[in-house]
Structure 1
Amino acid sequence: MFSSFLLHTWIAATLLAIAAGSLGYFVVLRRSAFAAHALPLAAFPGGALASLLGFAPLWGLGGFAIIGVLFLRIFSRLGRRDVAMGLLLSSFLALGGLFLSLGREYAARVYGLLFGEVLGISSASLLPLALLVSVVLLLLLWQFPILLLESTQPELANAHAISSARIEWFFLLLLALVSAAAVPVVGTLLVFTLLVSPAAAAQRLSRRPYHAWALAILFAELLSWSSIALSYWSNWPLSFFVGIQGAALFLFSRIFARN
């Protein structure tokens, strides 16, 4: 389980869990769970296009996730965020399907991008992944108090001349970067689980912001590590264990919080 061919996966999952847990706390706090589902799907065609052209998928994933943020903000200004999300999902999924169909390894690429691949992390992709996660964490820590204030007390934030629009741009761009980084490991369809489940469980168990934030990171790490171990022992997909354990974690947190 700790052999050299899995070492890259352990490192990548550890880095991603820190980023996903940290940002996921604000995803739940700002009620942006659907955006956390939409942006990984927006990144999907970028990974497909990068693979088709022979580039590292991470760059394509990041570029298209940022494009997804732009479209999301443009359509949201029209006043119908739900319609914007629906249009975003359908159009980007269709585009990703087109790019994948043009390649020669259609089935393998579809599986890897949609559901992740436990052995899909190479040594060459670890450095850009680590840099991307480091940038996200530094930016999040830099703006943490402001983001927390705007997310919990927007009226007070406006009174202190904090721009809600600027904070929303900042938050969505960070979410896009984390989504792009997570797709190669857990897949497009389950980035949402890694972002939302640990944070939602943490907020059920603690109302104190910094405690809940730390719990979200801890739960994300435990979810990632246990999923890798179970995937290795059972030879079942990593994404299956991320999804099932994420749902179970939230369910148990609700039961524990009620008691």
Structure 2
Amino acid sequence: MAETLAIRTARPRPVPWRSILLHLVIALGAVAMFFPFYWTLVTSLNADSRLDSAPTLWPADPSLEAYATLFTRLPFARVIGNSLLLAVVTTLVQLFTSATAAYAFSRLPFRGRTVVFGIYLATMMVPLQVLVVPLFAELKAFGLVDTYLGALLPTFASAFGIFLLRQAMNQVPTELDEAAALDGAGHFRIFWTVMLPNIRPALATLAVFAFMGSWNSFLWPLVVLRSPEVQTLPVALAGLQGQFTTQWDVVMAGSIVSILPMLAIYLFAQKYVIQGVANTGLK
């Protein structure tokens, strides 16, 4: 018996080839996804960058001259401030409108609720390109073209945000609402003290998506914002290719500047995003 146990103990464990292969594929995928960002950073630090040659893995003479050009020869600080203003306001307003509408669809029984919610979700299938002309004509009639408010108004409501928060609110037990109602709480108090604290991961997820959507928005700001004083970052980046056709280090420096805020926000809210998507049942 002891000899049998000794033989079993001494037997070498099989090599987990499947696990090794899986981790190798994941590592290769991570490198493939990270390399364009790394090459963009290296190009922004190399003053003699050219796109018709092989990618440089390390700058021969690292320099921040391209970043200095962005903020001295161009009003890039104003552009970043414009994008930041629009993104923050859009995020805050979308959180408010989406949360209140989601509470109504989740907790307030009214006739035709399912039909109205389905129609509202159907608006997600309408692309922005279809709405650009009527939106522009409407804002022009109200004198809101080339203004911050004109750029913000179409972004104040989000069908995706309402869907995301409604799914999260449906996961909150109704017993909590009933207990709060027995204590004399009305809908506003239930919404503020019961519902919102229980859907914080979903709120963080929507905040990241809303901020990212506004920060990267190109078509609508290009159409409605005409003056350089109100120009946003994606539009300014597109203009860099025309002003600095051969200075790719300046173009790449602008790309790095546009990436850094989103990277910082996502790293900060990553756990909330994953938890929010898991709790709402989205895949």
Give the structure-2-normalised TM-score. Answer: 0.29
Larger Rg: 2
Give the helix-richer structure, 1 or 2.
1
